[in-house]
Every structure is written in structure tokens, then in C-alpha cells.
Amino acid sequence: MNIEYPLKAAHSLEIESIVKNLLTDKQHGLSQREALMRSKRFGLNIYKSQKQKSLWRMAFEQFNSPIVYLLFLAGFASLYFNNKVEAVAIFIVILVNAMIGFFMELQARSSMMALKKMDVSYSRVIRGGKIIEISSEGLTPGDLLFLEAGDMVSGDGRIVSSNGLQTDESSLTGESFPVLKNTEILTGKIAHIAAKNMVYKGTAVMNGNARVIITGIAENTELGKISELVGHSSPTKTPLDLKISKLTKRLIWITLVMTGIFAISGVIERKPWLQIMETSIALAVAAFPEGLPIVATVALAYGMLLMARKNAIVKKLSSVETLGGVNVILTDKTGTLTENRIFVEVLSFPSGELNVCIKNGLLECKESITEKIQENIELLVRIGSLCNNATINEQDKHKKTSGDPVEIALLILADASGFPAGKTKDEFKRLNEIPFSSETKLMGTIHQGKVGFFVSAKGSVEDLLPKCKTLQSGNTTIGISEEESAKILSQAEILSSSGLRVLAFAYRISAEMLVGDYLHELIYVGMVGFLDPPRSDIKDAIGDCISAGIKIVMITGDHPMTALNIARKVGITDMDDNKVITGSELPEMELLQEVWKEKILSTSVFARTTPKQKLEIVDVYQKAGFIVAMTGDGVNDAPALKKADVGIAMGLRGTQVAKETASIVLKDDSFTSIAQAVAQGREIFQNIQRFVIYLVSCNLSEIFIVTLLGFLAQGSMLFPLQILFLNMVTDIFPALALGLGKGDQTVMQRPPRDPKLDIISKRNWIVILIYALMMTGSVLLAIFICRIYVGTDVRIINNVAFLTLVFSQLLHVFNMSSLHSGMLVNEVTKNKFVWIALLLCFFLVALVFLFSQGRDALNLDIIPVQAWVIAGLASIVPLLLVQLYKLVFEKRSISVDSKKINTVLSN
């Protein structure tokens, strides 16, 4: 029997018809073997990759730039004036420059593809009756998909069973309100996208859960059809692209001014127009940093790969730059600051309390278990097994867990207590669920058992206890007095203050089926204290962030004392700091007075907060001028993640909605990875800034030299081909090496930079000008000495000027070390790529001089040894002067900056 796919008008068919057409099972789903066969037949659940630029197009685009047009003009002009050697040399240089750009872009594309492979989404499907987690790419027609709040829908499908399912379909319809779904058949003419018994790929589950039969994947989804109609949009320029573009325009203006001055003076002096044109071309070539955009792309891609290796997947290029400017991190507690390995530590009942642990799969108690407590344990374990969406499956002799860590801990507790969760679930068939909500902080389920209907509920103590009318003590129930209620709340407070996460459990038995809100008139059973210890490396990571001028703020939905206890242990607050603000204390945003804004900005721990309050806290910090990084994992964290300057989602326990919204995804959910990502972000920008300063200072020195020699020694002026060789060889390779460096060790010991600033600040421009003038001075010095000791031959003088500039620019790479590192041992001298680049450049220079063809192309000759010595010694002068300048003047500014940093940190 053939499968009918793609299945048309699935919303108007009976569920049994869909099951029959897709040859699936609405209870057990497909078998693993059948699913793999269908994946081979129908393909993976991915869109046809956006057609990548062909290699031919990539190669052609290397010639599509103003500087190349200018060089072509110079080449054809040389042909016109019968200077064939120069023309051929120009065309060879254009080709070589294009090849370098081509291979660099190819490398950047490969790096970006490697990053893309790391960002994989997952779906939970029921195959062979068991819930398993698979890559969303492996979803296939007929699969039974399990959805719950926080998931991204990975394919179009017909809803088989629904429990309060609401989806956000704004990405498809533009409608901002969640859509309540059902299983009813829809007849008559209806837009596919409006079917309430269907879910659609790319939408987000906001509430509830459901089982869905997949009817469409990839291009056969509504989102796929829209994508094909819309086509592919052109890539958006990142802030870094815009800053590089702004810098390039500034350099062009500098060139135009210098060229204009030279051209006017040439006309006044009645120089030949050809000479003026050649000099103008030389100036244009000198000013334009051809490798700047390519080197920036390679540096970003390489840096992002390094961040991915440190468990931080960066999804947006612009986030790399912003990350370096972050000065406040708003972080969750569970799983980020803590291990997210939940253990049951305490069982607390009205008739007594037990300190427990699970060893070798068995529950061990430090205290003796009374008959009354035993009765409560059995009830609590049953509630914990039924009011639970986690699963534990045996796979390859190993237990594969899926779901919330607290719920997994409850299943482990049930198995260790001698009441297996699987057996309990078989005895009590689930009929309905009230999903957990961050607003209510409760979850409830109703089941049909042998003696009627059983309601199980769990949630925070202060929210569940008011729903309870009586409490369980052994095999009897008694009314909850105010005194008893206060006692339970007090015990919860004590457990929370010791660092435990506390959940209360209750139940209800009814002879009739309950509908609507059945979480009332419950019987309180007890509470469980869960231990989630702080990560072993977290204190050092937070210390690094504080040293870097970054404030750490914990925002959690947990109990205030639990939050404060963890905050003290990890170093967010001092041991004697009792300041914590709860969500109930926070006024509405529109009523937020200045006094409250100051309280928020001076507080480091927020507890029992709602998603709306998280969003408002982000807004307060942003309006105060902070660059905010925000962590989150739930569907309700998405607005705050989106509003923050850098949204960071948890990769392990984070929902697909959070991951899609965030700009960074942590593969290990660890705060340490956030600290490492911030450090890497700072290093990436530092590297970009370093090679930009290197390129611009080198190019500016060429502009000065061409202009000055045009006035002072026209015959010995550098030729366009010589300048292009400088830009292509001595600029690009060292700049690329700087872009791949590791950065200095003090990057997390300084305040964050302002991401609104340009790549090159006013102070940087002064430094660049000093560097350029020193290299220019070294060339003029070499020419002056050469005229005295070697001779006045313009050809030799030109060669000495060329060699001095080559050597001084190559040695200039060592001036790019930070002021906070040593002169001989620093991040540049320890960068292996720098040494490889220098060896390659010296080899290419030697190669040009060894072969007559190379010498002829670049107007070079075999010059006297004395000329080589003069060029070598003169080229060392800028390096020595810059190092002396740093030693004398810059160290003074460091001590001033250090005092400022210490003042900021002490405040």
C-alpha cells in the first residue's frame, strides 16, 4: 500500500483517514526502521539550501571593486603607451590579488558552514511507542510528534490529541495572539494556514501539549511554500560591516584630498599630465586597503569557531561585537550557575522529615520511616510519577532521559522507592493536564484509575498550599489550620534557605470526571527538597567577569532564600548581603519611580519573578545606559532574550523558542561558557581593531611617501605596481595573522568597550598617524643616507625606498602588541601565524629579486650591498621608536587607566 504524500487538505480529513493514508499509528507512531526508510525516500526535513554563490561567481566578484577598475585602467594605459612589461605585471598582480581574495572568502565560507552544522534543532517523536529525541532534520511524514510549551514546531501536522495547546503563529500570519488548537475536523472552504486542528513548521508552542501526525516536511510545509514564493533576501550588513565601510570612505576622502593637492601642484609646476595621472593612481592604490573586508570576515569566522569550541554557538555576527561591550549579565540560576543535576535531598511531611539519598538505585534514609510517613511517601511518589512529562528509556544498555531535570529526579525517586513510575502510569490513564505556567507556578493532571478519578498536582509551596483544603497524615486527612499552614510555609522557608529547591505535592480523588480547573479542594501530602549544587568552576568565572567590569545579576523564579544562598556561594553577593527583591514586591513598569529604578540597579538577586518582570528589568538597565546580556531557557524568556542586547539561550535545557530568539546558544548551559564567550568576543574585536590599525597605518605611510616623493624626488617616486605589491604581500598576510591571534591575557581585566564607538577611536587615529609618520620618516632617512653613501641614481634610490618600506611594514606588525604585555613576549610574538606570514613575505620579496622577470615588473635592480644595509637599518628605526614611545608615554596612561578601573570596581 502506497503512502499518500504530500497529503492535501489534512485539516478536512478524519484522523483515521490520515493514519490510513500515511500508514502510521496514532498511539505508537512509526517504527525506527520505517522512519529511516521514509527519510531516504522523501528526503530530510530541510529546505533546499539557499543556492550558494558559485565558485565562478565568487572568482568574478574579486574583480568587482573600484581599485581593480583603477588598476585595469593603469594596465590599459601602459599598453597604450607601449609599456608592455608594466601592463603584463599589472594584470598579473590583479590576478594574484583576486586569487588571494578568492581563497580567503572560500575559507570564510567553510568556517561559516562548520558553524551552521553546530546549530542543530531537535524534536521529540514517538517511535515504537517510546518518546525519543531526534534531529529535526530526521522528521518524516507519518511521524508522531510530541509538542509542549517551549518547542518550535518542526513540520506541518494534524493534531491527534491536544491538552490546552496554544501556538504563536505570528511568523506566518502576523497575528500576535496565540491560537488555541483542537482536534475537530474542519469542513468547507478554509485557508490552510487558518486551520485550528493543524500545527505549522516554524511556529512556537506557547502553552499546553499535544500529539501530532506529521503531514508535511521541508518544502511541503506552509512555511516552505512561503519561502519559495518570497525567495532569498540579500544578507543584511552587520554593524561591523558598516563601520568598515565608514572607515573605507574616510580613507577615500583622505586620498582625494592628497591627490587633489598633488594634481593642483603638478598643474601649477606644468608637469606632464601622464605623470600626474600615474601619481594619482599610485595614491589611490596606496590608500585603499584591499584586504580589509576579507580579513575581517576571516577573523570573525575563525573567532566564532573558537567560541563554538568553547560551547558558545554565535548565530548573529553582530553579536560578536556587542558581546565585547557587555557590562551587565542577567542570568538564570538553575543549570546556568548550578549543575542542573537535580537530586532529591529531603522529603518533608506533616508527620516528619527525612534526609534521603539514592545509592545503587535504592532509596536510603538517615532517619527511620514510620508507618504514617510510609503512607505519605507512597502518595507523593505516585503524584510525582503522574504529574510528570519526563521519560527514562533504556537505549543500548544505557538510560536515556528526556525532560525537565526535576521531573527526571521524581521518576528516579519513584523507581528507587519500589513504586516504578512506568507501572504507575500504566495503572492510571492520563485524561487531561493543566500545564505548568510561570504565572501560576503549578501543574496538574487528572487520571482514571480503578477506584475513580485521581488528580495529581505539584508546584511552589506558597502557590499550591492555598489550593489545599486538607492534609494527609498517614492514612487519615485533617483540615489545614492557619497554624498548620504557617508551619508548612516556615519549613519550606528553612529548606529553601539551605539552598534547596522546594516543590509541594497534593492530590484529590473524585468519583466523577472533573472538567475545567480541577486544582482546588486538594489534599496536601508533603514537599520535596531538591539539591542543585553550584558548578565547581562558576565562582572563578564570575570573579573574571567582575574583574572585567561586568555586573552579574541573578533573576530566577525560584525561592528568594534559595536564590540568595546560591548567589552567596558563587560570589554574586557578599556573605553578609541579605538584599533580594521578589517579583511580588516589584511595582508595575508604568508606576516605576526613580527610587525603584535605583533599587533595581543596586540589587544583584531577583527571585520569584515573572517573564514580564524579566523584560522590565532588562529595560531598566538599558535605559540606564548598560549593554545587557540576558540568559534564558523557556518560551516565556523569549521577549527578554529578544530585547536584550545579547540574548543567550541554554542549549541543553532551553526550549526551541528560546534558541531561535537568542543570538547565542550555550551547548553546555554553563555560565563559565558565557564568561569565555565574552572574553572571546573582546579578543575578536581586539584582533579586528589591531589589524585595522596595522593596515591603515601602513597605507597612510604609503600615501605620505608617494605625495612627498612626488614633490621632493619625482624620479624616485614609488610606482603603482610596487605599492600594489606592498598592499598585497606585506599588508594582507600579516594583517590576516593578527586577525587570527589569541589576544592578550588581560582582556578580562579591563572595563568593556562601548560598541557604539567606531573601530578606530580619535586616540587610535593619533597613534596611526604617529606610526605612519615614523615609517615615512624611515624611508626619507634611507633616501637621504643613500644619496650620501651610495649615489644619486634615481633607480637605486627608488629601490631603497621600496625595500625600506617593505621591511618597516613587516616589522611594524610587532608594534601591534597591547600596552599591557611585555616587549619581547606578548600576544604577537606568541602568534605562530605572524611568524608564518613574515617568513612567507620575506620569501616572496627574495623571489622577486632572484628572477629578472620579477625585477623588471616592479622596476627593481640588483643594488649594492650598502643600499641593502641602509634599507635594513632604517626600517628598524620605526620599531625602536614605537617601542620607546610605548615605554615612556603609554605606560603612564596605563597607570591612569588602572586607577580609573579600580575606582569603578570599588564603587
Q: Return the active site residues.
A: 332
DSSP tag of 558: S
H helix or E strand, kind and range, residue 820? none
Residues 141, 392, 649, 148, Cα dihedral to 10° = 50
Q: Are strands 628-632 and 646-650 parallel, antiparallel or unpaired?
A: parallel
Q: What CA–CA distance (Å, rounded) separates 651 from 662? A: 11
Q: Which of 178, 183, 180, 177 is nearest to 212 (CA)?
A: 183
- 3-state SS of 673-715? HHHHHHHHHHHHHHHHHHHHHHHHHHHHHHHHHHHHHHHHCHH
Task: Kindly give the interhelix angle for 292-309 and 239-268, rounded to the nearest 10 degrees.
Answer: 160
Note every long-range contact of 219-223, with CB atoms under 8 Å and residues 24 or more positions apart, other chains counting. 219/47, 219/48, 220/5, 220/6, 220/156, 221/155, 221/156, 222/156, 222/172, 222/192, 222/193, 223/171, 223/172
Q: What CA–CA distance (Å, rounded) separates 535 from 672? A: 9
Is the separation of the CB atoms in 632 and 647 below 8 Å?
Answer: yes
Q: Which of 302, 223, 292 is nearest to 45 (CA)?
A: 223
Is the separation of the CB atoms in 371 and 517 below 8 Å?
Answer: no
Q: Burial level of 851, CB count in 10 A (0-12/13-18/19+)?
A: exposed
Provide the 3-class DSSP secondary structure of residue 422. helix
Q: What CA–CA distance (Å, rounded) separates 841 from 732? A: 10
CB proximity list for 73: less than 8 A, separation 6 or greater: 281
CB proximity list for 719: less than 8 A, separation 6 or greater: 86, 278, 282, 798, 858, 859
Q: Which of 809, 779, 810 is nearest to 717 (CA)?
A: 779
| CA quadruple 754, 759, 765, 767: dihedral sign | positive
Q: What CA–CA distance (Å, rounded) separates 223 from 229? A: 10
Q: Which amino acid is at 381?
A: V
- Kindly report the number of other CB atoms within 10 A of residue 380's CB atom: 30
DSSP tag of 211: E
Is the separation of the CB atoms in 305 and 115 below 8 Å?
Answer: yes
Q: Are strands 398-402 and 452-459 parallel, antiparallel or unpaired?
A: unpaired
For the stretch 272-284, what's the b/e string if a residue is b when 16 or more beta carbons lie within 10 angstroms of its beta carbon? Answer: eeeebebbbbbbb
Secondary structure (DSSP) of 143-200:
-EEEEETTPBP-SEEEEEEEEEEEEE-HHHH---SPEEP------SS--GGG-TTEE-
Q: What CA–CA distance (Å, rounded) separates 209 from 404? A: 14
Give strand pairing partners of 402.
391
Q: Which of 426, 328, 354 is nearest to 385 (CA)?
A: 426
The label of the residue with cell 561567481 reads: 57
The label of the residue with cell 586620498 reads: 255
Q: What CA–CA distance (Å, rounded) separates 492 from 597? A: 31
Q: What CA–CA distance (Å, rounded) separates 800 from 781? A: 10
